[in-house]
């Protein structure tokens, strides 16, 4: 996601939009940049384990939730249906997860961490938590909690604005 730009028009015309738009646009710029910067630190930490961000997302999800249907994984990791197949294939090839049949529904399949995958996450996740803690160290604990509350409100409202549908197609 490329960053939105920050500046005024090249020729110094008065913009044809008002205060509310300016405020929202400026907020969108700092939001993108903050997410980009923290995301880059997170990605750098993840790359040390030779994993992509999306792969790590799936491993982390299974680490915390246990075996999950592929459809559940898709909804939570926000990737297309083909993308889940692709990521799960690769993690399977590396022996970190495996597909398991679903007893009630022969169409469906679980993704579950293998022993090797569990061991990896037990080793890697705590240091990842430290990397994220450090990435957020620019804000005090109190500021982090303020930011949390504001971002949660913002995110829920924006998600609702799209309709409960289509967080990602499949």
Partner DNA sequence: ACTTTTTATCTCATTACTGAGATACTTAGT
Partner DNA sequence: ACTAAGTATCTCAGTAATGAGATAAAAAGT
Binding site for DNA (CB under 7 A): 2, 52-55, 69-71, 74, 79-88, 90, 99, 102, 104-109, 168-170
DSSP state string for 91-120? HHHTTSEEEEE-SS-TT-EEEEE-HHHHHH
Selection from DNA, its own copies, none that 64 binds (CB < 5 to 8 A by kind) is its own copies
Selection from DNA, its own copies, none that 135 binds (CB < 5 to 8 A by kind) is its own copies
Nearer Cβ to its own copies (13/106)? 13
Q: Which residues of 90-118 are buried (b: 16+ CB within 10 A; e: fewer)?
A: bbeeeebbbeeeeeeeeeebbbebeeebb
Selection from DNA, its own copies, none that 31 binds (CB < 5 to 8 A by kind) is its own copies
The window from 16-24, 88-96, 98-106 that contacts its own copies (CB under 8 A) reads 16-24
Our separate counts of H helices and E strands in the chain read: 6, 3
């Amino acid at each position: 996601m490329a960053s939105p730009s920050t500046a005024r028009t090249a020729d110094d015309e008065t913009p044809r939009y008002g205060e509310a738009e300016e405020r929202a646009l400026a907020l969108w710029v700092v939001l993108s940049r903050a997410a980009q910067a923290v995301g880059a630190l997170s990605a750098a930490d993840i790359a040390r384990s030779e994993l992509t961000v999306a792969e790590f997302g799936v491993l982390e999800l299974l680490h915390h939730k246990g075996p999950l249907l592929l459809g559940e994984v898709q909804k939570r990791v926000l990737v297309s249906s083909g993308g889940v197949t692709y990521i799960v294939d690769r993690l399977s090839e590396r022996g970190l997860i495996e597909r398991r049949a679903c007893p009630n529904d022969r169409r469906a399949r679980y993704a579950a961490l293998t022993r090797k995958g569990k061991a990896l996450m037990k080793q890697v996740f705590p240091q990842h938590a430290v990397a994220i803690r450090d990435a957020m160290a620019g804000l005090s604990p109190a500021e982090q909690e303020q930011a949390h509350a504001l971002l949660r409100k913002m995110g829920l409202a924006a998600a609702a604005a799209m309709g409960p549908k289509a967080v990602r197609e499949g």
